[in-house]
Structure 1
Amino acid sequence: MKDLDCIVIGGGAAGLMCAATAGQRGKSVAVLDHANKVGKKILMSGGGRCNFTNYFVEPANYLSQNPHFCKSALSRYTQYDFIELVSRYNLEYHEKTLGQLFCDHKAKDILNILLAECELGGVEITTQCSIEKVEQLTGDTDYRFKLHTTMGAYRCKSLVVASGGLSIPTMGATGFGYDLAKQFGLRITAREASLVPFTFKGELLTLAQSLAGVALPVVISCNNQSFKEAMLFTHKGISGPAVLQISNYWYSGNNIEINFLPDIDLAEQIAQWQSEKSKSELTTLLSRLMPKRFVVAWLAAEHAKACGANSIANKNIADLSRSDIEIIAKLFHAWQCMPAGTEGYKTAEVTRGGVNTDDVSSKTFEAKKVPGLYFIGEVLDVTGWLGGFNFQWAWASGYCAAQHV
């Protein structure tokens, strides 16, 4: 039997941050992880460069049934606090776009910083350690929990659940944290794959497959939320940053709307071409604004035939009527479709939903009805946008919980 002040279940971003911080406060801490190494999602994130935070973190960048829950932690451990930490280790990083900060070299640099911080706090890290049973202890003891694991028994005064969500099961994701929450009477909100590509079926799928590999900047909208970023056609549907972002706000049965020319008023552009007495065909001129392969396929697709746009495609610009222009403008500025679904947890970056935040303190991250039991990171019903926001939630929730374990 090993007795400790704090056990952290899960060696991801939130778990390592919490363990390092608690250890440096003088607590005896162990991290237990069932995988063969810690920090797997850190290593694969950002294309191997780890988008570790964002300059522009706001509570509005997060989804939760309780949108106020994240405010306290994000204000107490900010993006600048984490930047200060990595700067102490001389991490070289850069801003890519939209405030997103990436390592110059490799994601392992971030993991190495966390491991160095854990070492400073005397944290014991045990991998390939599965939790078989968690007991709540009562009676005359300072220890509140007993863990039965494949590496023996442990007792602890504080138990931190940082086991993540269901996304990317090939990296070891399981529903363990949710099961443990239920065991202790905490509620779980509906969970779905998020920050994930959309899939199409039927004619839309055939169209997407014919355009696989074509990327272009768009504004994509759903449920009163819009994002302006790149979109990519795939062999299954659509992907790219814009699609991943809007997937946070999409539910099965919802339509999405896409503006393929977010920076141009197409009706005004066509009017200008007409004023210039251009004799070119519409398709030719549109191909100056968007990839020709996309323009040709889009004007020949079933949705174009349905609104009559395909018959306009080969007209000379000079011959376009006002109604022709309206049809074409709508086709490229306000195209609507209903995705068949998403690619699911196997490619999702995060899990939307999780442990109900109404059952957890926003200050300490302790379960309100279970003293000594804490939940941090992705296992909670807090989901950030793409762009470093979920890592910042991991750092903030892990740091703040560590002040109280």
Structure 2
Amino acid sequence: MWDVIIIGAGASGLMCAIEAGKRGRKVLLLDHAKRAGQKILMSGGGRCNFTNLYLEPNNYLCDNPHFVKSALSRYTQWDFIALVDKHKINWHEREHGQLFCDDSAKQIVTMLLDGAKQVGVQLQLQTEIIAHSQSADHLFTLQTKQGSMQCHSLVIATGGLSLPKMGATPFAYKVAEQYQLPVKPTRAGLVPFTLQQKDKFAALSGISLPATASCEVKVGKKSKQISFSEALLFTHRGLSGPVILQISNYWQPGEKVSLDLLPSLDLLHILQTQQQTNPEQTLKTLLAKQLPKRVVECLLEMAAIENLPLKKYHEKQLITISQLFHQWSPQISGTEGYRTAEVTLGGVDTDFVSSKTFECKTTKGLYFVGEALDVTGWLGGFNFQWAWASGWAAGQEV
């Protein structure tokens, strides 16, 4: 018999276990993997982008945009930074307020595991849940290959479907369905795009350049444009890099994404000026001063634009050339899917979960935290902060 059983020894599960243990609760933390904190260990290139300095509720996608506010305001990025500092883990800031460990993500996992051990949390790995149920007196019973166990509070912290090789499963959604909780449709988030004409872009694989990506997003009956400015990476299958991962959260199949490949320049002005001052210069020569030559050649070829001296182009052609590089709309066939996605969009419907306690409104003693919920953050430490905050908040209640 346990006060609390938490299924999922990732970021949110570990944080919840620590906080519940601090309150003197008898806590069992279960996971089917061989080691705890798998996604923490591989995140940020092994250095764990553990939070972000410039965190706001509008950095999250959720059908109920107000849901994230309570937890994020009660356990902030400054609280987690203080915890990291307390354990003397050195860190540094990168662009856009992203914080990384100087050394290794292992330090974050060790910090959390040590914290759980200090407050008496029992960790049990390689444990598969065969069945679970709740009795009339709200007691949960779990059946595993190691035997059965009971608890008063059951926390689901098993995440979403992204990175199945890391052990991702639909377990959280199956639990929700068993207790008649709606699950919002799921899809891969923070994920590279595949292109319809990928063969034509194969020669560009490995090229990276700064870009701004934009797409239209529906907000109720209205639509607004959302944009991100970061690095773009051409791959052998399509497009990646931070700017693509960010916009992928908002892109819907069939919709367009506009890419500005020269976000800090006015190409039309450059073309017009150079046409006057250097009319014999060819178009490719001019463009290759601003962009990688292979990118220039590929886009001009696809748009069937001839490489001529600048004096040969009339004004409408210059506008068309400018738009090609400032408003390039590649033909997106889809995404790389959950195989490479960093997060899962959608999840357990937040209308049925308390934003303060994370307890289900319809099932006493059942809690969902972290990525299992219909909450997805931007790239850059936002999803980890959601895990820390939601785990912390549930830990105060279970």
State the TM-score, normalizing by the size of structure 1.
Answer: 0.94
Counterpart check, 1:355 vs 2:348: yes
Counterpart residue number, 1:386: 379
Q: Is the 8 A contact 1:42 1:111 kept in 2?
A: yes
Paired with 1:137 and 1:19, the residues of 2 have a C-alpha distance of 23
The alignment status of 1:182 with 2:180, answered yes or no, reads no
The percentage of counterpart residues that share the same residue type is 52
8 Å CA contact retained: 1:253, 1:338? no
Partners of 1:336 and 1:195 in 2: CA distance: 19
User: How far apart are the structure 1 equivalents of 2:55 and 2:45?
Assistant: 21
Shift of 1:62: 0.4
Matches for 1:2-151 after TM superposition, within 5 Å: 3-139=1-137, 144-151=139-146
Provide the rounded CA distance (Å) in 1 between the counterparts of 2:4 and 2:285: 66
Q: Separation in 1 of the partners of 2:280 and 2:78?
A: 56
Check conservation: 1:35, 1:127, Cα contact below 8 A: yes
Q: Which runs of 5+ in 1 are unaligned?
A: none
Matched, 1:169 2:164: yes
Report the Cα distance in structure 2 between the residues aligned to 1:338 and 1:133, rounded to whole angstroms. Answer: 45
Alignment of 1:237-386 (within 5 A): 237-277=238-278, 279-301=280-302, 304-305=303-304, 310-311=305-306, 314-386=307-379
The whole-number CA distance in structure 2 between the counterparts of 1:118 and 1:87 is 18
Aligned 8 A contact 2:195 2:330 in 1: no
1:72-96, CA deviations, whole angstroms, 9 ceiling, x for partnerless residues?
A: 1111100000000000001111111
Shift, 1:210, TM fit: 1.9
Q: Which amino acid aligns with 2:314?
A: S
How much does 1:16 deviate? 0.4
Greater CA deviation, 277-286 or 234-243? Answer: 277-286
**Aligned equivalents of 1:318 and 1:98: distance in 2?**
42
Q: Which amino acid aligns with 2:69?
A: K
1:222 paired residue number: 215
Post-superposition offset of 1:384: 0.4
2:155 corresponds to which of 153, 160, 166 = 160
Distance in 1 between the 2:119 and 2:345 partners? Answer: 32
Cα deviations by residue, 1:187-243 (Å, 9 ceiling, x for unpaired) = 000000111001112xx2112212111111111111221111111111111111111
User: What is the distance in 1 between the residues matched to 2:211 and 2:151?
Assistant: 51
State the distance in 2 between where 1:290 and 1:107 align: 35
Match of 2:220 in 1: none
1:232 aligns with 2:227: no
Mapped partners of 1:88, 1:274: distance in 2: 61
The alignment partner of 2:165 has SS state of helix
DSSP-derived class of the 1:273 partner: helix
Contact 2:204 2:295 in 1 (8 A): yes
1:275 positional shift: 4.1
The runs of 5 or more residues in structure 2 that have no matched partner are: 217-224
- For residues 218-269 of structure 1, what are the alpha-carbon distances to aligned partners after superposition, in whole Å with 9 as ceiling and x for unaligned? 1111122111111111111111111111110011111111111111010111
Query: Given residue 233 of structure 1, which amino acid in structure 2 is its aligned partner?
Result: F
Q: Is the 8 A contact 1:5 1:29 kept in 2?
A: yes
User: Equivalents in 1 of 2:199, 2:173: separation in Å?
Assistant: 38
CA RMSD of aligned residues (A): 1.1
| Cα contact 1:208–1:238 (8 A) shared by 2 | no
Q: Deviations over 1:141-188 (max 9, x none)?
A: xx6211111221111111100010000111110001100011011100
